[in-house]
Amino acid sequence: MSFQALATYAMTLPGATEDIKWGCDWVASVGAKMFFVGGPHPDKWTHCSFKVDEHRFLELTGLPGFAPAPYAARYHWVAVSDPKALPLGELKALVKRSHELVAGKLPKKLRHDLGLA
């Protein structure tokens, strides 16, 4: 598994858009809010980051290959440095949950406009 597989999956989620932030980070967003971050060239990424449920944050950051995400850990974001830290299906489920967490905080009208309501 590569981080490219997660980036490709992130872009299949409803309302997902992509762009480059801070001049070098590839970002998947929903409603202009980030839910998945990686490097500008997914085949060469050294890590990726995404939001997790508060109750899973300590569990996940205790696993090999996971760490609190720099600058975003207080918002329950984790960084994954090993693409084999969990099976691909579990990593995809975490990316999907990140999308759900972020989309759930969007205004109702925006969620409706994006086909999320």
pLDDT score recorded for residue 36: 97
pLDDT score recorded for residue 4: 82
CA distances from 20 to 6, 11, 28, 117 (A): 16, 14, 9, 27
pLDDT score recorded for residue 91: 95
* pTM of the shown model: 0.93
Q: Are 69 and 48 in contact (CB under 8 A)?
A: no
pLDDT score recorded for residue 44: 73
pLDDT score recorded for residue 39: 76
pLDDT score recorded for residue 47: 86
Length of the chain: 117
pLDDT score recorded for residue 41: 64
What topology does CATH give the domain 3-104?
A: Aspartate Aminotransferase, domain 1 (3.90.1150)
Tens-digit pLDDT profile for the chain (117 aa)?
578 889 999 999 999 999 999 888 899 999 999 999 987 665 677 889 999 999 999 999 999 999 999 999 999 999 999 888 999 999 999 999 999 999 999 999 999 999 887
| Every domain of the chain and the residues it spans | 3-104
pLDDT score recorded for residue 84: 87
Q: Is 14 left (phi over 0), alpha (psi -120 to 50) or beta?
A: beta
